Amino acid sequence: MKPLISIILIILASSAFSARIKDIASVSGVRSNQLIGYGLVVGLDGTGDSASFTDQTFKNMINQFGIEIPDGANNRLRNVAAVALSAELPAFARPGQTIDVTASSLGNADSLRGGTLLMTPLKGADGRTYAIAQGNVVVGGISVQGQDGDETVVNVPSVGRVPNGATVERSVPSGFSQGDHLEFQLRNPDFTTARRMAEKINSFLGPNTAKALDAGAVRVVAPREPDQRVSFLSILENLEVEPAQQAAKVIFNSRTGTVVVGQNVTLRPVAVSHGNLTVTIDNTLNVEQPGALADGETVVVPDTEIDIDEENNKMFLLGPTVTLSDLVEAVNRIGASPTDIMSILQSLKQAGALDADLMVI
């Protein structure tokens, strides 16, 4: 029995649906910022690293407390690990608020479980310090090794999180309260959606209040006072807009053999035939010996058999305006495997019979 192709259908409801502006667009300038840092995790139960930069960092930290370590001393303790810290500073974060921090081992540490992150500055892309991180590291992974060398690892024990482990020390200036306009940025740019959003806002607040700049942005006239602008935006973001249907698209996952077909995918009239040609070559070595009184040598003679098997699949007709269920039935009818489906779709696309964009991930 031939394998059937795995196809996932995305079928959108035929009736129109609405979405809030806050679900399909974001306000320009209201964004988070990435922070990064470098520090030490101490208190590990023999699972730290032995990297040279960890030794140097540990020595520099100890020197800050007035303790001098002699040159050449072996400071590579297995209860210390050097880590890279990453965090996300949310929009409108104020000094004194806390954010989560992710700690990732830089050396050959086996696990960060049970460790404590020492005070570390977190810096932005401009090199300025925006938060200070410190606290206990929570690790979701675990690694266990027996005396015979067998090891079991669950998740990744060399990465952990410090919940609320960083305190914000500096806020990022925002342009939210500046200017006479607000700009909405669509998460999925589309000319139709941008036009409908502008028309919805204008019908609610009056003509010329909103203007669609392009497929991804809508500009709205807004009050200058911060409290009025907050109230103004809270009303706008809850207005409902009917998003436009997405363009016809077929997505093929080459790793799993999954094909995702959008609702608007159509096929023009086309004849399709799919067959596999299998060539089998079997080499056998035969030994030939001369007669008892003959003057000759024993030789090895290869014997090759070639077998060609070609499937005899009939040609059938697809289209016009074939439905998704017809497409699935047709693909299963020809017995195409997941490795064949993309070549079939590409052939249909090149023949001008497939009205959709093909994406391979």
DSSP track, 227-272: HHHHHHHHHHTT-EE-PPPPPPEEEEETTTTEEEE-TT-EE-SEEE
List domains and CATH numbers for the chain. Answer: 18-29+175-241 (3.30.1360), 33-168 (no CATH), 249-360 (no CATH)
Structure confidence at residue 211 (pLDDT): 93
Q: Are 40 and 80 in contact (CB under 8 A)?
A: yes
Instruction: Point out the residues of the chain with pLDDT beneath 70.
Output: 1-16, 72-76, 141-154, 254-257, 262-264, 266-285, 287, 291-296, 300-342, 344-345, 348, 350-355
Question: What's the whole-model pTM score?
Answer: 0.64
CB atoms within 10 A of CB 211: 15
- Residue 329, pLDDT score: 66
140 and 128 Cβ atoms separated by less than 8 Å: no
SS3 of residue 60 by DSSP? helix
pLDDT tens sequence across 154-178? 677 889 999 999 999 999 887 777 8
Per-residue pLDDT, 342: 67
- Sign of the Cα torsion 49, 51, 56, 59 reads positive
pLDDT of residue 163: 94
pLDDT recorded at residue 301 = 67
> How far, in Å, are 260, 262, 317, 320 from residue 270 at the CA level?
21, 20, 6, 8
How many angstroms separate the first and last alpha carbons of the chain? 29
Whole-Å CA distances, 259 to 12, 249, 254, 306: 17, 11, 9, 36
* Chain centroid, CA 141 distance in Å: 21
pLDDT, position 9: 43
Q: How far is CA 355 from CA 123, 253, 321, 322, 349, in A?
A: 49, 19, 10, 11, 7
pLDDT digits (tens, 9 = 90+) for 44-78: 988 888 888 888 888 888 888 888 877 766 666 78
